[in-house]
Each structure stands twice: as structure tokens, then as C-alpha cells.
Amino acid sequence: MADKGHLIIISGPSGVGKGTVCDRLLKQRKSIVKSVSVTTRKPRIGEVDGVDYFFKSKRQYDELKEKGGFLETFSIYDNYYGTPAEFVEKNINSGKSVLLEIDVQGALAVKQKMPESKLIFLAPPSIEHLVQRLCKRNTEDEQSFNKRICAARTELDNKDKYDYIIINDDIDKATEEIKRIIDDITK
């Protein structure tokens, strides 16, 4: 039987650059697969169903949840998110490492269930940097923007619970550092 793969979780405030780092990692490390979460949030322009998220109605989401389909679930910004349990288990059991890009509470919940999982926190150099980045991204209305900044403060307060903390003051450097950490975990 193949050795089991690893579960690697990346968290960090909305707008910090997790998506970019994960995309680059996945292009360069074919033995790692990213779990696609289920969400009730509406797709942003350019987001693709089944690639960025599985976009579901609240009813579909609740049905999946009732069936025990999620490794963890979380609700933020009035939306619901969940990590599909079957995808994670199947890949890990077949020897693939799985990357989850999820929020802090979800990450800590998974760590409790699966203590061997590794948690990486991607932090902005400062809250001011994050505000600027989210402004530039321009994907949120004012209410959602404010909620994300508020949630960012809570996420940053929890960063010391992570196995690794990387400051994203340069996206290339941050990606390289995370790649090195993941290579070390999966070697």
C-alpha cells in the first residue's frame, strides 16, 4: 500500500495573497492537489465552478453537511464554506499530499481532528498593507470589505498557533519559502 500523503493547510487574511501562492505551488509540485471547497458565496468575476469553489445553494450545502460530507465547515461574511471530506481522505490514502486554503478556525478544527496536519500562516507585513491590497483588488462592497478587515485582525491574533508563519512582503520570496517548507514536510 502507498505511504499516506500529508495534509497541509494555508491560512491568512483575505487579500494576503494565499490564492497566488497556492496557484504557483500547484504548478510546480504535481504531487500536491488542492482541495476545492464548497461555498454558498456567489462567484466573483473570473471564478470557475469546480476550480475555485463548488458553488452551491444553501439547501445543497445543508444536504451535503447532513450527509457528513465535510471535514470541517465554517460560516463567515454571511456565507458558508466546507472542506469535502471524501476528496481529502481519498487523496491522502492514495499517497497524494492535499493542500487546504481555509480560514483559521477551520484550520484549527482540522488540526484537532488530524494532529499530523501542518499549518502555514501567510501574514501581511501590516494591516495597512492588507487594506491597500484589498482596495486594489476591488472585489468587495463596503460592508464585505469592512468585515474582511475585522476578520483579518482576529486571524492575525491566532497566527502563533500555526506551525509556520510567513510574512508576505514579496510574493516571490513568500512562495519560495512556503515551497521549501512543503518540500521539507513531504520529503
At residue 17's C-alpha, the angle toward residues 50 and 69, to 5°, is 35
Beta strands in the chain (DSSP E): 7-11, 32-34, 38-39, 54-55, 70-76, 79-84, 97-101, 118-123, 164-167
| 37 contacts ligand 5GP (rule: CB under 6 A) | yes
Total of chain residues touching ligand 5GP, rule CB under 6 A: 13
- Cell 472542506 locates to 83
- Nearer of residues 14 and 97 to ligand 5GP, judged by Cβ: 14
Residue 134 contacts residue 15 (beta carbons within 8 Å): yes
CA dist list (Å): 182 to 25, 146, 153, 166, 185: 9, 32, 26, 13, 5
- Minimum gap (Å) between residue 40 Cβ and ligand 5GP: 10
- Minimum gap (Å) between residue 169 Cβ and ligand 5GP: 20
Per CB under 6 A, which region of 26-34, 98-106, 114-122, 130-138 contacts ligand 5GP? 98-106
Give the integer Cα–Cα distance in Å for 144 and 141. Answer: 5
| 41 contacts ligand 5GP (rule: CB under 6 A) | yes
Amino acid in position 84: P
| 102 contacts ligand 5GP (rule: CB under 6 A) | yes
| 97 contacts ligand 5GP (rule: CB under 6 A) | no
Residue 16 contacts residue 107 (beta carbons within 8 Å): no
Of positions 7, 82, 156, 174, contacts ligand 5GP by CB under 6 A: 82
- Minimum gap (Å) between residue 170 Cβ and ligand 5GP: 21
- Minimum gap (Å) between residue 125 Cβ and ligand 5GP: 18
What is the contact surface with ligand 5GP in residues (CB under 6 A)? 14, 37, 41, 72, 74, 76, 81-83, 101-103, 106
